[in-house]
Amino acid sequence: MSFTTTGEHEAIRKAVRDFGEEELKPVAREHDKEQIYPEDLRRTAADLDFVAPHIPEEYGGAGMDMLARCIVTEELWRADPGLGSAIGSAGFGSSMILKYGDEWMKEEWLTRIAAGESASCSCISEPAHGSNVAGIETHAEKDGDEWVLNGNKMWITNGTVADVGVVMAKTTRDAGHKGITAFLVPTDLDGFQPTKIDNKLGIRASDLAEVVIDDVRIPEENVIGEVDKGFYQLMDFFASGRTGVAAQAVGAAQGAFDAALDYAGEREQFDQKIGEFQAIRHKLAEMATDIEAARSLVYRAAANVEQENPDQAAKFASMAKLFASEHAVDVADEALQVFGGAGYVSDHPAERYYRDARITKIYEGTSEIQKNIIADRLL
């Protein structure tokens, strides 16, 4: 399947790269150190259509195809993974609203997210249930014309900054994946209690929270899609979500590589640039090759997602996420090695890319889960 980029794709790449160089890189270290969520940068990025680029034009978005969205993600993370994550994740959960939500949900929330006025979050994982979505314990009980939600969500991106959340809850207990429903939940409702998680290893500029949901009452019209069909609805976005994380990994790897390449051309030892030593040249060659291989897999996965080819999209999305995330960590590690002792301190970005890249092997399905998915489609 073809995944050649067009002139429009490359124009998007240049625009995001310019934004990253001019707006993100100069403040990346400060945002990482102080764990500052980039509210102003998110709004600026929204003006440029870099926030939730999947949202159609009719709701104020850019309506980009999957490959273009991967390029946006890649370039944001290339500039800085922490800031890239904060900006790129501002629309978490909005795909569910777009595909399955009622028109009033789209008009009220998609327009605000695309404009940068609001962020959204997707409340799926729980303290005891990460990879096992079907095992979630958050539940919703019908009370007249309302639903009452109770539970505990964990590792929720944008948990303390979002204005709206898509919350997955059991509506038929003991039914496993067959009893899950998606709900639209404004975060200012009584009982929605987020607590910021501020001891993260990486992507420290992005917001992460634990969310306690204590007798949160919402009207029945806030059901997204159909009751007890939430898991099946969620499955529609696994491939695109994993492809997006793979693009994040490519961006982090490219950023680490760029920093190492520049340093190798500047640092001198034994009266010559370290980039002239064969040991360093071979490192750089292997790093560049790994990045290009990962990028090709990501773009192939994006093409299959765009063509709505479920089996192929699922397979290549998992392959892309597995390969890109594993090699992003390897590339970041080698980049730090090129810097030597200077890479181990925060004076240079090498240590930040090293910390930031690691998350891509975990969320949206761990590397181990991706291997299971790939194997299921081979045997």
Catalytic residues: 364
The Cα-based distances of 148 to 96, 183, 185, 214, 307 in angstroms read 21, 11, 11, 9, 39
Which residues neighbour 208 within 8 Å (Cβ) at sequence distance 6 or greater? 155, 156, 157, 159, 196, 197, 200
Positions of E strands within the chain: 120-123, 139-143, 146-157, 164-170, 180-186, 192-196, 208-219, 223-224, 268-269, 272-273
DSSP symbol at 365? S
What is the distance between the alpha carbons of residues 31 and 86, in angstroms, rounded to a whole number? 11
Which residues neighbour 272 within 8 Å (Cβ) at sequence distance 6 or greater? none
What is the distance between the alpha carbons of residues 60 and 173, in angstroms, rounded to a whole number? 38
Which residues neighbour 200 within 8 Å (Cβ) at sequence distance 6 or greater? 35, 208
